[in-house]
A and B are shown apart, each in its own frame.
Chain A
């Protein structure tokens, strides 16, 4: 009953005309970001971050989150119509979505993807509504040892779920953790690696690193010669799937929603992993697995539902624990902190209007996206006709403005450029930059929790094994590491290896 009352409070915030407008704007920009290959939701959110400085907290987070889940909707459009994933999580939709388009069922594929995304998104928000507040209340029992153990678990989980090897992921996370130590040590006042540059005293920001690695890095490794293929533009009357197609889509949407939400709770590229796993599950459960790759409806419905549910699931640890599960939620946390709101267990009690307004706006946002994505598909397809030679300079300009406007620091823009070059190099050598960003985000909290734990136990490191929650979290870490070791010994081709192959195929 208390949840219902709180949700009503949320709707009273989310249905205010100005909040609705920013939710719509976020959904619209997110769809365009999802449609355009090479520009991910992270770049979109980072670039628009400074534009939210003049807004209040609720409006800014509603708009930025709209970009995130809107991009998951938009990503399916290019996958189905052009066989180019507009967003990494739409890789699996390319296979059967494009095959359906070639059979003249592009409209049906788009409709199933949009409805599946809406069902999954709404399901995700419903579960988030129910579990985030009790989880936040539970997390209030956490002290420094529990937080340290939770953050270590987050890193190990990320490494376990990553399509690249455990050691490569942990290596990148270490780089991020190391970069996170730059600046003044908050416990002793020591300057660390600031080289007499005043701006580095505050540390290295998340936004320049994320925009550099993902936005600029992507542009540097995409030569303008990359041609855009023929665009199939379906008519509005062709959008309705047949009764059989609806029947074929129903269960994959339900399974994808559940699977995606659960994977979304874990750190890593959950929205990408969930679509891959959903595709594998649907093919295994199908009575006609031979149809996969040739236009199977389940091959579109499952992955599209899964990636949307995962993007909503990622908000649970972000809102309830203040724990980012990936670079996108990390930037959203940064956005909240810029407005003086710390996400975590206290958010729901201290800022109920922000928390519940945000949750309610996602219900509304999912409806908006359904309304946007179907009738306006022709308009979004036209965005794809912008030549890349004009598009990428535009993105670079927004990267520069976006980073500079965060704190009016030119040092941040130089960091972005350096990170762009680093991102280009990492891609060349098959290293995933996502763990680096995650490491950078959690570094200050992990270091503080670790040091506080040792101080409060007077140097007794067994404190981590004396508290039940910390022990449980560390036991989970050990289990994951053991599983990874077993998988390495068996050297079997599990789903992560296949995911890595698919990602390598998309980004040769």
Chain B
């Protein structure tokens, strides 16, 4: 069997729908006269499984899985990793430190810019944004354990 993109996409949605149905066990469907909290999610999960199967059945019209280009994957993975680390420390270190480090990591480590240019960009942008939000828009951004 030749794998096509819709085989994977459809299969993923069938699996997602099945997982939702499995997690919905304790949600009551209720009756037609008084529908319960589980009616809508179970209905949607069932439809998701149905449409997912339809996607798999009609996958012949979709491109071959092997023909999909993944050249942007390393860029995407680096960006997600750096952003995830920044999110994890955002509330602890605050806006200024976390975002300055994230911008530096993205421009220097991910994009191979000159370290001085990357540092100047990161610090400058963060300082300007903090000024904009704190002074101009009067909406202070998150402060970290160091107080800024």
CB < 8 Å neighbour of A429 from B9, B38, B137: B9
Within 8 A of A (CB), among B73-114: 75-76, 79-80, 83-84, 86-87, 90-91, 95, 99, 102-103, 106-107, 111, 113
Asked if A220 contacts B72 (CB within 8 A), the reply is yes
A475 within 8 A of partner (CB): no
A24 within 8 A of partner (CB): no
Report the bound CA distance from A221 to B74 in whole Å.
10
Asked if A219 contacts B125 (CB within 8 A), the reply is no
B64 within 8 A of partner (CB): no
Complex contacts, B35 vs chain A, CB 8 Å: 450-451, 454-455
B82 to chain A minimum Cβ distance, whole angstroms, is 9
Complex contacts, A430 vs chain B, CB 8 Å: 5, 62-63
CB < 8 Å neighbour of B87 from A51, A181, A193, A410: A410
Asked if B80 contacts A421 (CB within 8 A), the reply is yes
B120 to chain A minimum Cβ distance, whole angstroms, is 11
B45 to chain A minimum Cβ distance, whole angstroms, is 6
B105-147 interface code vs A (CB 8 A; 1 in, 0 out): 0110001010000000100011001000100011101100000
Report the bound CA distance from A402 to B34 in whole Å.
40
A223 within 8 A of partner (CB): yes
B144 to chain A minimum Cβ distance, whole angstroms, is 13
A250 within 8 A of partner (CB): no
Report the bound CA distance from A265 to B32 in whole Å.
34
Asked if B102 contacts A397 (CB within 8 A), the reply is yes
Complex contacts, A505 vs chain B, CB 8 Å: none
B25-59 interface code vs A (CB 8 A; 1 in, 0 out): 00110011111111111001101100110110010
Complex contacts, B13 vs chain A, CB 8 Å: 171, 175
B41 to chain A minimum Cβ distance, whole angstroms, is 4
B23 within 8 A of partner (CB): yes
- A167-B54, A223-B75, A400-B87 as given contacts; A417 in contact with B33, CB under 8 Å: no
B18 within 8 A of partner (CB): no
Complex contacts, B102 vs chain A, CB 8 Å: 393, 396-397, 400
A291 within 8 A of partner (CB): no
Asked if B37 contacts A192 (CB within 8 A), the reply is yes
A467 within 8 A of partner (CB): no
Within 8 A of B (CB), among A136-195: 167-168, 170-171, 174-175, 177-178, 181, 185, 187-188, 190, 192-193
CB < 8 Å neighbour of B75 from A50, A181, A224, A459: A224
Complex contacts, B27 vs chain A, CB 8 Å: 190, 192
Within 8 A of B (CB), among A188-242: 188, 190, 192-193, 216, 219-224
Contact residues of B: prevailing secondary structure: helix
- Smallest Cβ-Cβ distance to A394: which chain B residue: B125
A484 within 8 A of partner (CB): no
- Smallest Cβ-Cβ distance to B75: which chain A residue: A223
Complex contacts, B58 vs chain A, CB 8 Å: 167
Asked if B90 contacts A459 (CB within 8 A), the reply is no
Asked if B37 contacts A188 (CB within 8 A), the reply is yes
A112 to chain B minimum Cβ distance, whole angstroms, is 36
A175 to chain B minimum Cβ distance, whole angstroms, is 7
Asked if A174 contacts B47 (CB within 8 A), the reply is yes
Most buried by B among A175, A187, A446: A175
A403-440 interface code vs B (CB 8 A; 1 in, 0 out): 01100101001100100110010001111000000000
A244 within 8 A of partner (CB): no
Asked if A413 contacts B8 (CB within 8 A), the reply is no
- Smallest Cβ-Cβ distance to B16: which chain A residue: A175
Report the bound CA distance from A61 to B139 in whole Å.
18
Interface residues of B, Cβ cutoff 8 Å to A? 5-6, 8-9, 13, 16, 20, 23, 27-28, 31-41, 44-45, 47-48, 51-52, 54-55, 58, 62-63, 68-72, 75-76, 79-80, 83-84, 86-87, 90-91, 95, 99, 102-103, 106-107, 111, 113, 121, 125-126, 129, 133, 137-139, 141-142
Interface residues of A, Cβ cutoff 8 Å to B? 50-51, 53-54, 167-168, 170-171, 174-175, 177-178, 181, 185, 187-188, 190, 192-193, 216, 219-224, 389-390, 392-394, 396-397, 400-401, 404-405, 408, 410, 413-414, 417, 420-421, 424, 428-431, 443, 446-447, 450-451, 454-455, 458-461, 508
Q: Give me 10 A-to-B residue pairs in the complex whose CB atoms sit less than 8 angstroms apart, sorted by A's number.
A: A188-B28, A223-B71, A393-B102, A394-B103, A397-B99, A397-B125, A420-B80, A429-B5, A447-B40, A451-B39
Top 3 closest pairs, chain A to chain B, by CB: A459-B33, A459-B32, A190-B37
Known pairs A171-B48, A178-B44 / 12 extra A-B pairs, C-beta < 8 Å = A175-B48, A190-B37, A192-B27, A192-B41, A392-B106, A393-B111, A396-B83, A405-B139, A408-B142, A417-B84, A421-B80, A460-B32
